[in-house]
Amino acid sequence: MAVFAVIFLILLGWLWWAKQESARASALQLEELISEARMVSQDMEAMLSNAVDLSRSVIDDFDRRLQAAQSLPSRLAAEQAAGPDPVVQFYQELAAEAHLEMQSGSGELKAAVEQCQPAGAASGPYAEEDYEAYRHMHPTLAVHQLYRQGMDVKQISQILQRGQGEVHLILNLERKKKMDKAT
């Protein structure tokens, strides 16, 4: 009987010790959880503070723009009463003159436009040296220019020294963009 009592006491002691260890492990897990919750809370507070600061700056910017928009009619009326701004008038006249020159296609402007275009761009078939300008262009631009001039995919790929698949891809992407815009 004494042996059973000793075994019982040892078993009881072991259960008490296991319960204490379990409580310690639970306490450690709880402390880790609390520590993690504090870190999350600090992060959330920082994010909230940043969001408040951002909101304030957006509101301040909006208020400034709103005030500027509200004062616009009075500023425009004052500017109209004072007469046209000579600088603005100068540039408007300059733009009108440039527009007339572009419409007439004469003078230095026409020469400048012709220099920007590859040789023979308006005439059709090109000499080998004329293709070089297209080869130095961005492929998308070159493909579209040559295609608009009536060349097929095979001719374009030979001129640009690129694969027919690449030329097809560039043209198909443009068609897809146009279809997407239409829908």
Domain presence at residue 94 = yes
How far apart CA 147 and CA 91 sit, in angstroms, is 37
Angle between the N-to-C axes of helices 153-160 and 164-182, in degrees from 0 to 180, rounded to the nearest 10 = 120
Q: Residue 102 has what pLDDT? A: 47
Roughly how many angstroms between the first and final C-alpha of the chain, as a whole number? 94
Q: What is the pLDDT of residue 98?
A: 54
Of 72, 104, 136, which residue constitutes the final position of a domain? Answer: 104
| Segment 66-85 mean pLDDT | 74
Asked if the structure places residue 72 within a domain, the reply is yes
Q: Do 85 and 157 sit in the same domain of this protein?
A: no
Q: Same domain for 143 and 179? A: yes
In a domain, 22, yes or no: yes
Residue 1 falls within a domain, yes or no?
no
Binning pLDDT at 50, 70 and 90, where does residue 146 land?
Answer: confident
Do 86 and 138 fall within a single domain? no
Same domain, 29 and 71: yes
Degrees to nearest 5, angle at CA 170 with 133 and 181: 120
131 shares its domain with 83: no
Provide the residue range defining the domain that includes 45: 7-104
Count CB neighbours of 156 within 10 A: 25
With respect to residue 171, please indicate whether it lies within any of the assigned structural domains.
Answer: yes
User: Of 71, 104, 137, which closes a domain?
Assistant: 104
Conformation bin of residue 85: beta by default, left when phi > 0, alpha when psi is -120 to 50? beta
Task: Give the chain's domain count.
Answer: 2
Mean pLDDT value across residues 123-141 = 70
Whether residues 20 and 76 fall in one domain: yes
Would the pTM of this model clear 0.75, i.e. be above it? Answer: no
**Does residue 113 fall inside a structural domain?**
no
Mean of pLDDT over the chain:
78
Give tens-digit pLDDT for 48-65: 998 899 999 999 988 888
How far does Cα 112 stand from its chain's mean position?
Answer: 34
Collect contacts of 8-17 with beta carbons under 8 A, ≥24 apart: none
Residue 101: per-residue pLDDT: 47
130 pLDDT higher than 60:
yes
**Whether residue 97 sits in one domain with residue 22:** yes
Digit-coded pLDDT (tens) for 76-105: 677 667 666 666 666 666 666 555 544 444
pLDDT of residue 138: 85
Same domain for 145 and 88: no
